[in-house]
A = this chain, B = another copy of it.
């Protein structure tokens, strides 16, 4: 059962993954490969120091599109399950923004599907980052770094 979660506070990604994995109902011994990705807030972007960030989303539409991205991954790749966790609200450097994970029998599908999740999320899921810069100004991030 795929799992999508929007979270408002900081989370430790590996602890959360250990907590959520049993909820998926995967059969122990039934999967051979797990590919995981985390995106973490850097204290620099496009050459500037970044002191804080706020992530806005579109409640409802965001979850719906994350679920659809997982559905598409399940159709394209031979995977068993997947999850996406994404942070919203104020975020500090060093904190995790996104966690994706994919389980499959063999490694190729897990690697490819996990990368697919992240690329699709970056291009389609309604989230917007506003950065507070070291000089006191703020700016909306206009586009993501190419993947």
Contacts and interface: CB of A to CB of B under 8 A. Distances in A.
Interface of A: 12-15, 17-18, 21, 28-44, 93-94, 105-108, 110-111, 114-115, 118, 145-147
Copies per assembly: 2
Given A35-B37, A38-B34, A147-B108, A18 B28 contact: no
A35 B38 CA distance: 7
A18 B29 contact: no
Contacts of A21: 14
Contact of A39 (B41, B43, B107): B107
A49 to B, nearest CB: 10
B42 A31 contact: yes
A39 B110 CA distance: 10
A42 B32 contact: yes
A106 B115 CA distance: 13
Interface hub of A107, A111, A147 (most chain B Cβ within 10 A): A107
A17 B146 CA distance: 27
Contacts of A115: 111
A113 B137 CA distance: 35
15 contacts: A13-B34, A29-B40, A29-B43, A32-B41, A33-B38, A34-B37, A35-B36, A36-B37, A36-B38, A37-B110, A107-B118, A108-B147, A111-B111, A111-B115, A111-B118
A28 B111 contact: no
